Amino acid sequence: MKKAYRRLFLAIFCTFIFSIAINFHGQQSFAAGAKNVTITYWTHDEPTFLAANKELIARFEKQYPNIKVKHQYFPYDVLEAKEKAAYATKNESDVQQIFGSWAIEFTKHGLFDAVPKSMADEAKRKYFQAPLGGYTFQGKLYGIPREFNLENGGVLYYPNEIAAAGWEKFPETYQDLVGLAQKLTKYDSKGNITHYGFDFSSTDNVPYLFLSLILQQGGNYWKPDNVHVTFTTPEAEKAMQAMADLILKYKVCDMKHSNDPNVDISDYFFKGTSGMCFRGPWVIANGVNTYKLKNFRYAPMPSFTGKSLAFAAESGWGEVVSARSKNKKAAWTFIKFITSQKNNLLFNSKTYTIPADKSVAASAEFMKANPLIKPSLDVLPYGRPIGPLQSVDRFKQEIVYAQFQKVVDKKIDIKTALKAIETQTNSMIDELLAQ
């Protein structure tokens, strides 16, 4: 009997000690006594992202010596096609860093592994709603966001230029913004713009400005079924009219340089050919690192109505795991590590991206390291997911931007453009849902 008690005590004691070891070492228990594992990881090669990813991989391999990360990186415009081809031939990496708007094409075909429940529950508390949206399908999370992709909320400007135009500080109302833009715009003898007052003409910013102007009026572009859209509304008409006025009435911008795939509208700003530029905060890194500029600032975009700062956002870069990976446990261990609060702070600071992690966005350390980004941080609570458009890129470039171009070219009127946007978007949604 004594022997039986002794064995029982020993078993309980061993279990207790083992559980303590698990708790103390956490995920390191994955590696303890296990065979070495190599996971493959694909990202794009933008220099600041590359530096951040390499540093995080080095940190991870130091803490988890049994898990090696084989990192391969590709040009941004190659990565999406590379991943589609790899999934089609069952040759994808274990982990991929993807853009949020790409995710839906993969998740609806079951190609991504669902985020483990404990991580998913934590992510819903930890991250802003908008960046989670693109990685969510039928209520389940399929990726962890690294950034809050933002094309709204901020305007690049030069303090010395607006001072020369008679403005002591950046405008706080939409009407004043238009007034300043008129003062900053310069023309040649034929009336062509040589210096843009307010440049918003990129294929990203036309659609995002359009949606934000609708939302700031209290409008909504989703039908009650949350599957199809409606743009034949008074709010959409007023939004499109305001944008067209910037080009046709106030003449502070045109669309002549926006179709050059090799030059971003922020490049024109950093080269001194625009006074204000409506662009996401991620371009700040380009101004600081490439153009070596210190004389520009980033200010809050004034509300269209003076009452709301609402805007739509798609999910930015994030991490996903292939549903066919044979190393899922190691893959999710890697993602859990690189998306800790400490490592998210490193990633967002090095890449000049807006944190998807609420605690990083609120941290004094991040604010101190990125003072130019503060206007973007202030508007994050007003962001909402752009919604299940099925293909955000087609919606932005082939539909909204194309119809707006026809309006400013005076080929169609605004009502016709809005009807086309609504019809074409719903057709695209039905087409992609049927695939």
Q: What is the pLDDT of residues 168-204, one digit of tens each?
A: 999 999 999 999 999 999 999 999 999 999 999 999 9
- Lowest mean pLDDT segment, chosen from 77-86, 194-203, 258-267, 403-412: 258-267
The predicted structure's pLDDT at residue 30: 55
The predicted structure's pLDDT at residue 377: 84
The predicted structure's pLDDT at residue 150: 79
**CA angle centred on 219, ends 215 and 221, rounded to 5°:** 90
Average pLDDT over residues 283-295: 90
The predicted structure's pLDDT at residue 409: 97
Given pLDDT bands bounded at 50, 70 and 90, which one contains residue 286? confident
Residue that wins the pLDDT comparison between 246 and 370: 246
Question: Does residue 86 carry a pLDDT above 60?
Answer: yes
Question: Does residue 259 carry a pLDDT above 80?
Answer: no
- Lowest mean pLDDT segment, chosen from 15-24, 142-151, 338-347: 15-24
The predicted structure's pLDDT at residue 29: 44
Burial of 191 (0-12, 13-18, 19+ CB in 10 A): exposed
The predicted structure's pLDDT at residue 394: 94
The predicted structure's pLDDT at residue 34: 67
- Lowest mean pLDDT segment, chosen from 148-162, 221-235, 334-348: 148-162
Question: Does residue 376 carry a pLDDT above 90?
Answer: no
Average pLDDT over residues 245-263: 88
The predicted structure's pLDDT at residue 306: 95
Residue that wins the pLDDT comparison between 61 and 314: 61
3-state helix, strand, coil in the chain (%, to 5): 50, 15, 35
Average pLDDT over residues 316-331: 96
Q: What is the pLDDT of residues 38-57, one digit of tens each?
A: 999 999 998 889 999 999 99
The predicted structure's pLDDT at residue 33: 54
Q: Phi then psi for 424, rounded to 5 degrees?
A: -65, -40
- Under DSSP, the state recorded for 147 is B
| Dihedral of alpha carbons 407, 303, 298, 391, sign | negative
Given pLDDT bands bounded at 50, 70 and 90, which one contains residue 371? confident
Strands (E), 258-363: 276-278, 297-300, 311-313, 317-321
| Dihedral of alpha carbons 160, 165, 171, 175, sign | negative
CA distance 181 to 269: 13
| Dihedral of alpha carbons 363, 367, 368, 370, sign | positive
Question: Does residue 277 carry a pLDDT above 80?
Answer: yes
Average pLDDT over residues 384-393: 88
Q: Phi then psi for 185, rounded to 5 degrees?
A: -80, 135
- The whole-angstrom distance between residue 46's C-alpha and the CA centroid of its chain comes to 15
Question: Does residue 264 carry a pLDDT above 60?
Answer: yes
A 10 A CB-CB count for 84 gives: 15
Q: What is the pLDDT of residues 196-249, one digit of tens each?
A: 999 999 999 999 999 999 999 999 999 999 899 999 999 999 999 999 999 999
Question: Does residue 361 carry a pLDDT above 70?
Answer: yes
Instruction: Give percent above pLDDT 70 in the chain.
Output: 92
- Lowest mean pLDDT segment, chosen from 56-60, 107-111, 418-422: 107-111
The predicted structure's pLDDT at residue 77: 81
Residue that wins the pLDDT comparison between 37 and 100: 37
The predicted structure's pLDDT at residue 283: 87
Closest CA to 155 of 176, 179, 177, 175: 177
Average pLDDT over residues 104-114: 92
The predicted structure's pLDDT at residue 13: 45
